[in-house]
Each structure stands twice: as C-alpha cells, then as structure tokens.
Amino acid sequence: MNRSELMNRLERRYLRLCRNINELGRLDFKKAAPGTSPEDFVFSRIDFSRYREIPEKDFDLLFLDGLADFDDAFLRKNFKLGREEIRSLIERSYKKIEGSYKLRQESPLILSIMRTLETSLEDLPLFSTEDIREHSETLYPLLLSSLDGVTVTHRDGKTTKLFLSAEGALSGTFQPGGKPWTRVLVPP
C-alpha cells in the first residue's frame, strides 16, 4: 500500500462519517407518525435520488475503490454477491456523462449497494498485517507508531488526527460537520 492509497482509505472513512452526520442532523423525530418505529422513520427519510447522478471523483473513490473497504463476508451477507459481481453491477448500472456518472435504471439492489458503500461503518481495518507483511513484519509496529499524532487534511479542509492508544490501537478523530468522531482504524 502506498501513501496515496492510505490517504484514499482515510478519505473514504471520513466521507462516510460526513454523510452519516449530515443525515442524522436532518432527522426530526417529532415528525414521525404515531406508531412508526425509529428504523422505519429513518428509512423513510433516506434520499435515494442522490444516487441517480454522482460526481466522478466521488463515484471512483467511494463506490469502486470503496469496495475494498469491506470484506467478502459483509458483501455476501448484505447483497448475496461477491466483490467482483458488485463491481460489475455498479459499472453496468452507471454511464459516465460529462464528469459524472448517471444511473441507467434504478433498482432496489443498486440503490441498496450504493447506499451501503456510502454510509456503512462496518468497514475493514485501515490496513492489515497482511498489507504490511509484504514488506516486513517488523515494519508494522513502526508504521503504527509513525502515524501517532499525524493530522490528515480532507478535501473539504477539515482535519483528522491519528493517535495510538495505550493498548496499541491506531485511532482517528474525524470532524464531520465540525463534530469530533473517534474511530478505531487498526485494532491492537
């Protein structure tokens, strides 16, 4: 994994948090009909129209490259499809037109896939020991410690501060919507 790929992985996690914070901020549970479950109310407020046209930079980063952020078991459990089948479905479902990707035809499956890839926080660790093993097992602890205290600036100017916990986990404090959100990126 090179620096650019690492930065893209961090960017995707940040964008997912921003999307979730944005949507949570728009919810007004006072508007829920009596007897409506919180899950049904939240689902009724999802704007799936955002997946009809997606800017090219977001499409590639979140939806094609973003597939790598989820393990095969997660994808199969949620969609009954493997990674390459999902990639193929996404590529067939969208057409690139003037700097964006437009959905050819809506279906519940493609909308569900796009929604999950954009908002799910059930992603894989930022990098694994297998990623590091390609170079040397001795680099893994050095890599983690070298990221302690690093600040990453995202496309929108917000920053994420990385830090190493006493237990050895690499975490990041993201700032979606100006609110701190800490996530473990690499477990101990």
- Give the pLDDT of residue 2: 77
Domain boundaries, the chain: 3-119, 129-186
Q: How far apart are CA 115 and CA 42, in angstroms?
A: 13
Question: pLDDT digits over 44-93, tens only?
Answer: 899 999 999 999 999 999 999 999 999 999 999 999 999 999 999 999 99
Show pLDDT as tens, one digit a residue, over the chain (188 residues).
777 888 999 999 999 999 999 999 989 988 899 999 988 999 889 999 999 999 999 999 999 999 999 999 999 999 999 999 999 999 999 999 999 999 999 999 999 999 999 999 999 999 887 877 777 777 778 888 999 999 999 999 999 999 999 999 999 999 999 999 999 999 98
Rounded-to-integer distance, Cα 103 and Cα 167, Å: 45
Question: How would you list the strands of the sheet with 159-164, edge to edge?
Answer: 151-153, 159-164, 170-174, 181-186
Distance CA 49, CA 169 (A): 38
| Predicted structure pTM score | 0.83
pLDDT averaged over every residue in the chain = 93
pLDDT at 84: 97
